[in-house]
Structure 1
Amino acid sequence: MVERRVLDPAVSMTPAPERAVGPPLASPGASQGAVRATRNRRGRLVGVLVGRRLAWTVPLLAVISLGIFALAALSPADATTGFLGARGEFTPASSRDNVEELLGHGTWLESWLAWAGSTLTGDPGWSTAYRAPVAEIVAARLPWTVLIMATGVLSAAVLSVVLALGVALTPHHPVSRTVVGGLWAVTALPSFLVSLGLMAVFAIGLGWLPAGGLTNPGADLTAGQVATHMVLPTAAVAVSQVPWMSLHLHEALRAQLNGPAVEAARVRGLSEPTIVARHALPAAAIPVVAIAGTRLPEIVAGAAVVELVLSWPGLGQALVEAALAQDLALLATVGVLLTAASLLGGLLADVALVALDPRTDPREL
Structure 2
Amino acid sequence: MISFIIRRILMAIPLLIGITMISFAIMKAAPGGPASLYMDPRIKHEDIEKFEETYGLNEPIHVQYGKWLGNILKGDFGTSLIRRGVPVSEMIMNRLPNTLLLMGVSLLITFLLAIPLGILSAIRPYTKLDYTVTAGSFLGMATPNFWLGLMMIILFGVQLGWFPTGGAATLNAPFSIWDRLHHLIMPAFVLAVADMAALTRYTRASMLEVLQQDYIRTARSKGFDERTVVLKHGLRNGMIPIITLFGLMLPSLIGGAAITEAVFSWPGIGRLFIESAFSRDYPVLMALTFLSSIFVVFGNLLADILYAVIDPRIEY
State the TM-score, normalized to the length of structure 2.
Answer: 0.91
Give the AA of the match of 1:102: T
**Following the alignment from structure 1 to structure 2, what is the Cα–Cα distance between the partners of residues 304 and 270?**
47
Structure 2 partner of 1:100: 52
SS at match of 2:40: helix
Structure 2: any 5+ residue segments left out of the alignment? none
8 Å contact 1:69–1:109 — kept in the other structure? no
Among 150, 153, 158, the alignment partner of 2:104 is 150
Equivalent-residue separation in structure 2 for 1:326 and 1:133 (angstroms):
16
Q: What's the counterpart of residue 130 of structure 2? A: 176
Which moved further from structure 2: 223-232 or 148-157?
Answer: 223-232
Say which of 105, 110, 113 aligns to 2:66: 113
Contact 2:106 2:191 in 1 (8 A): yes
Superposition deviation, residue 207 in structure 1: 2.0
**Offset from partner CA, 1:274-303 (integer Å, 9 cap, x none):** 222211122222221123224433232112
Shift in alpha-carbon separation, 1:90–1:226, aligned structure 2, 3 A: farther
Which aligned pairs between 1:47-196 and structure 2 lie closer than 5 A? 47-82=2-37, 84=38, 88-89=39-40, 91-94=42-45, 95-105=47-57, 106-131=59-84, 132-196=86-150
Pairwise CA distance, 1:229: 1.2
Letter aligned with residue 7 of structure 2: R
Q: Distance in 2 between matches of 1:123 and 1:220?
A: 34
1:40 aligned residue = none
Q: Which residue of 2 aligns with 1:336?
A: 290
Greater gyration radius: 1
Where 2:232 maps in the other structure, the secondary structure is helix
Asked if the contact 2:248/2:299 (under 8 Å) is kept, the reply is: no
Instruction: Measure the CA separation in 2 of the matches of 1:335 and 1:172.
Output: 44
Residue 163 of structure 1 deviates from its aligned partner by 0.9
Equivalent-residue separation in structure 2 for 1:199 and 1:248 (angstroms) = 30
Distance 1:197 1:353 in 2: 39
2:260 equivalent in structure 1: 306
Contact 1:134 1:329 in 2 (8 A): yes
The CA distance in 2 between the partners of 1:338 and 1:220, in whole Å, is 32
TM-score by length of 1: 0.79
In 1, the alpha carbon distance for the partners of 2:177 and 2:41 equals: 43
Give the letter for the 2:61 counterpart. Answer: W
1:16 aligned residue: none
Q: In 2, Cα distance between the equivalents of 1:90 and 1:166?
A: 66
How far did residue 50 of structure 1 move?
A: 1.2
In the superposition, relative to structure 1, how do residues 129 and 211 fare at CA in structure 2: closer, same or farther (>3 Å)? farther
Q: 2:141, 2:193 within 8 Å by CA — same for their partners in 1?
A: no
How far off is 1:49 after superposition?
2.3
1:333 is matched by which residue type in structure 2?
A
Cα deviation, residue 257, structure 1? 2.4
% same residue = 29
- Supply the distance in 2 between the matched residues of 1:89 and 1:223 (Cα, whole angstroms): 46
The one-letter code matched in structure 1 to 2:187 is P
User: Are 2:261 and 2:267, in contact at CA under 8 Å, matched by a contact in 1?
Assistant: yes
What is the aligned residue count?
A: 313
Between the aligned partners of 1:295 and 1:149, the Cα distance in structure 2 is: 10
The equivalent residue for 1:18 is none
For the 8 Å contact 1:194–1:239, the answer to whether it is kept is no
Letter in 1 for 2:51: V
Which range moved further: 258-267 or 333-342?
258-267
Could you tell me which amino acid in structure 2 is paired with residue 123 of structure 1? D
Matches within 5 A, 1:344-363: 344-362=298-316
Q: Tell me the equivalent position of 1:3.
A: none
The answer on 1:319 being equivalent to 2:273 is yes
C-alpha separation between the residues in 1 aligned to 2:42 and 2:98? 36
